[in-house]
Amino acid sequence: MSTADAVVETDLLIIGAGPTGLYATYYAGFRGLRVAVVDSLPELGGQVTAMYPEKQIFDVAGFPAVKGRALVDGLVEQAATARPAYLLDRTASTLETDDDGVTLTCDDGTQVRAKAVLITAGIGKFSPRPLPAGEGWLGRGMEFFVPSFEPYAGKDVVIVGGGDSAFDWALHLQGIARTIALVHRRDAFRAHERTVQQVLDSDVDVITKAQVTELRGNGTLESVVLDVDGQSVEREAQALVAALGFIADLGPMQQWGLEVEKRHIVVDSAMRTNLPRVFAAGDITEYAGKVRLIAVGFGEAATAVNNATVAIDPSAKVFPGHSSEGS
């Protein structure tokens, strides 16, 4: 449905179409619920689709390694069994609860009337942290994400950052880019130790105590100027990836009356929030011992859907039996 000012009636509304939201969509269908899914991005898959579709993911049960794009494709196929109504490229703006259900209004005027809501919005809306020297260079050789490796074939690439994304992209671009330099302002890294060691053992030129001071080129990027421990160094580069992390923002959700702790929604063991009929699962949640992994999000999604089912229909059971027992 794409018509603004429409009213969508459903049993369960899921806010967020990333991996956790897609699995919750499937599971809601398994529980016999009608389901609608709202997401501010124009495509399914959330951060995985937007930021690292080519990245190998290692923490999903049953897959020694799976590309982000392949994982999303499988989740979308699985979710299709629930015949969901997808409301993409629109932001959840206001949320009102009453004794009978929840009403969500989107930024385009679309209203969704649901019997329960499950928030699986990851980190909420996110925007990349800017590279000060890169102002005006976006799309002219500088990018924040690497959705495809093909544009980097045969190029001299500079990656700026010290986190998982920077090291993952440095690792995966080997054999594709002509040269790779990873630039970080400190000599300690936030990335996973195993990945850091793989990059250090590779042909990637790791430059620490350094920062980018200038991008040069006639129309498109030709070189990058670095300050390396006080010394100015110019390096040939036709592509720069500014992997400096991103700024997370819960956006309008902060005005809904949810209990929030450090930009995360507090839930109990049933994935209930402090608002009636409103549940949450995945990276957006907070509770004692929380671990932010895709695999954890899948389990939380099933817990949330099963408990939401009882909120929708008090005669239902929390545990429906195993999906393998279905016909």
Query: What mean pLDDT comes out for the span 246-257?
Result: 84
58 annotated binding-site participant: no
324 annotated binding-site participant: yes
Query: What mean pLDDT comes out for the span 308-316?
Result: 95
Query: What mean pLDDT comes out for the span 79-100?
Result: 94
Q: Is the pLDDT of residue 1 over 50?
A: no
Q: What is the pLDDT of residues 165-184, one digit of tens each?
A: 899 999 999 999 999 999 99
23 annotated binding-site participant: no
Q: Is the pLDDT of residue 124 over 80?
A: no
Sequence ranges of the chain with CATH classification 3.50.50.60: 7-126+246-325, 130-242
70 annotated binding-site participant: no
Q: Is the pLDDT of residue 323 over 80?
A: no
126 annotated binding-site participant: yes
Q: Lowest-pLDDT range, 64-78, 101-115, 125-139? A: 125-139
20 annotated binding-site participant: yes
Phi-psi region of 229 (alpha: psi -120 to 50; beta: other; left: phi over 0): left
283 annotated binding-site participant: yes
Domain 7-126+246-325: homologous superfamily in CATH: FAD/NAD(P)-binding domain (3.50.50.60)
Q: What is the pLDDT of residues 188-220, one digit of tens each?
A: 999 889 899 999 999 999 999 999 999 999 999
Per-residue confidence (pLDDT) for residue 79, from 0 to 100: 98
The CATH class given to the 130-242 domain equals alpha beta
39 annotated binding-site participant: yes
Per-residue confidence (pLDDT) for residue 13, from 0 to 100: 98
Question: Mean pLDDT of all residues in the chain?
Answer: 92
Joined together, the tokens standing for residue 316 give 């239902």
**Long-range contacts for 101-104 (Cβ within 8 Å, ≥24 apart)?**
101/277, 102/13, 102/277, 102/278, 104/13, 104/15, 104/38
Per-residue confidence (pLDDT) for residue 327, from 0 to 100: 44
Q: Is the pLDDT of residue 3 over 60?
A: no
